[in-house]
Amino acid sequence: MKTSLFKVFADLRFTISILLIIACSSIIGTIIEQDQSIETYKLNYPLTNKILGFISWDTILKFGLDHIYKTWWFLTLILIFGTSLLTCTFLQQLPALKIARRCQFFRTTDQFGRLKMCKQLKTINLNQLLFKIKENQYSIYQQKHIVYCYKGLIGRIAPLIVHFSMILVLFGSIIGALGGFKAQEIVPKTELFHIQNILSNGQLSIIPKTSARVNDFWITYNKQTMVNQFYSDISFLNNHGMEINRQTIFVNSPASYHGSNYYQTDWNLIGLRIKPQYLPVSQYQLINIGTDADKMWLSWIAKDNNLKTGFTVLINNLQGYCSFYNKSGLFLGNLELNETFKLNSSFTLIDIISSTGLQIKTDPGIPLIYTGFGFLMLSSLISYRTYSQIWIVQKRGKVFIGGNTTRATFDFELEFFRLTKK
């Protein structure tokens, strides 16, 4: 019974079936947004308009389609697929490699009939033939009048490396799903923050108690005043609030600290610091009235305590200035940092308070996944090495020669022709 069960797991058709199920599940996970709030799924997948007639938000939550890669059934599929690969490796690939290493002599001439190429030579010097075969980097084994030659044995190792690399990738995926987490923090510059806003985490994940400070946030623009890059200067602190590490991150260049990666994802403006004449610095809140593609912030600066007279402030970038309008919407001018605006009363723009959006991710399975893909590329290179075999039997003054190859049949035919020509 155990042998039959192992043979089922080692069957190529079973392995392909499991792989197709995993692929289909991954496609569903790509189409349906993962790790979103329940309100998002209720809005996009309402009960009154089911996709394909059965997909709605309650179906998504019931079967865990909102976090497919962490569900028990998806992880079970990966474990079954990995078990199938291991079983196939030990029951098929390793025995095939052992057989390839053996000397497989042909004892009779009848065996040449099942080869891809065979030929009968009447007048030929066997020693000269073996010398030519040796020049083509074949390993030669001889017992009196029978000869066995092969080369490219390393090409037979490629399937083993493929299985090993896929097992590493699968194992790394499981570790990442169980031990990883993703968090999102919106932090004003100069402020401290901890990892608190957890978007998703695995059953075995541990959230690090890291303290950090956003020292500064800035944006660079190109000549067309289009956004070029976002930057955040971050300091990582110890338990006593002392800086122990400092890094500047930007889009596609995260910071790494204690196994966690800090990505630059978003930004926002939250306020203005303005100093009226003869008064202390005041802070005014900015309200976002634009979209993600066309950001715009608005604030109102009152002249007196009744808040009915004053100026409207508009900002649509972080180049260090803002635009002022009166209550009728008439443009009054632009005010840069540390510049004083004079109209009836004067005030100075001290600072534009910005905040940076940071995404913190930990995936302990990434090193295994990268290692697995590295071995997969190595196996692709090794597989180009053709495994070729040549058999020779000398009988009654005649020489029977034949050969097989695993790939590159045309090249092997040319090589075989050169070896056997007069």
Query: What is the structure's pLDDT at 104?
Result: 80
* Residues 201-206, mean pLDDT to the nearest whole number: 86
The dihedral sign for the CA sequence 411, 413, 414, 418: positive
Does residue 397 have a pLDDT over 80? no
The predicted model scores a pTM of 0.70
Query: What is the structure's pLDDT at 245?
Result: 93
Range with the poorest average pLDDT among 148-157, 178-187, 370-379: 148-157
* Residues 123-146, mean pLDDT to the nearest whole number: 85
Cβ–Cβ under 8 Å, residues 375 and 368: no
3-state secondary structure of 243: strand
- Other residues' Cβ atoms within 10 Å of the Cβ of residue 292: 7
Higher-confidence position of 251 and 327: 251
* Residues 142-160, mean pLDDT to the nearest whole number: 85
Identify the residue whose tokens are 């066995």: 148
Does residue 191 have a pLDDT over 60? yes
* Residues 348-363, mean pLDDT to the nearest whole number: 90
Q: What gap in Å lies between CA 301 and CA 285, rounded to an integer? A: 10
Q: What are phi and psi of 406, to 5 degrees?
A: -85, -30
Does residue 306 have a pLDDT over 70? no
* Residues 20-43, mean pLDDT to the nearest whole number: 87
